[in-house]
Each structure stands twice: as C-alpha cells, then as structure tokens.
Amino acid sequence: MDQQAIFNFVRLPARLDTRQAAQVLGFNEHDIPILIRAKLLKCLGQAAPNAPKYFASCEVQELAADPDWLHKATKAISSHWREKNERRLLAKT
C-alpha cells in the first residue's frame, strides 16, 4: 500500500500502525517513539518495547485536529533533536 492510500479510505481502520499514525498526524514515522516517550501519544495495549505499536484511529484523528496538542508535539520533537545534537557535539569535543 502506498503512503497516500490511507487517505483514500472512506473511513480509517480502527487501529493504525506507526506509519499510518505518523501520516495522519503529519509527522515522520521516526517521530512517533519520541511522542510516546513524551507521553503525548498513547499506543493500544501494553506492547513490549520492541513490538509493533498500534494506535486508536479515533484518538489519532482527535489529536491531529487539536492545535494545542500539535504545538506540544512539535516542541517535544524539536527539543528531542536539539538535545540529541547537543550531546553529539559535546561527545566530539
């Protein structure tokens, strides 16, 4: 299934995988674990750390429509990468 196919559904499936959730939210797939760690996104069940994660599409759609949540999520991702880059620079010196 290509990346845009999810938007062609009449309605979204009840569960979204990480890639699909990222598409609906407008983030990159590698940003989803950051949002989970920041407790801004909650996966279904109690999946093991290395197990595939699934998300309730109704909750993902609500979050995608919430400007305040989008602001917090964008800040969390920016902060994560800024801190990671700072640590990397410190390690080089």
pLDDT digits (tens, 9 = 90+) for 4-40: 776 676 788 999 999 999 999 999 999 999 999 999 9
Task: Indicate the range of 62-66, 77-81, 88-92 predicted with least confidence.
Answer: 88-92
CATH dotted code for 13-92: 1.10.1660
Residue 40 has a pLDDT of 98
Residue 49 has a pLDDT of 87
Least Cα distance to 24 among 4, 49, 38 occurs for 4
- The reported pTM is 0.84
Residue 14 phi/psi, 5-degree rounding, is -65, -35
Look up residue 72 and give its two tokens.
């917090």
CA angle 53/22/14 to nearest 5° reads 60
When the pLDDT of each residue in the chain is averaged and rounded to a whole number, the result is: 92
Least Cα distance to 41 among 67, 12, 51, 53 occurs for 53
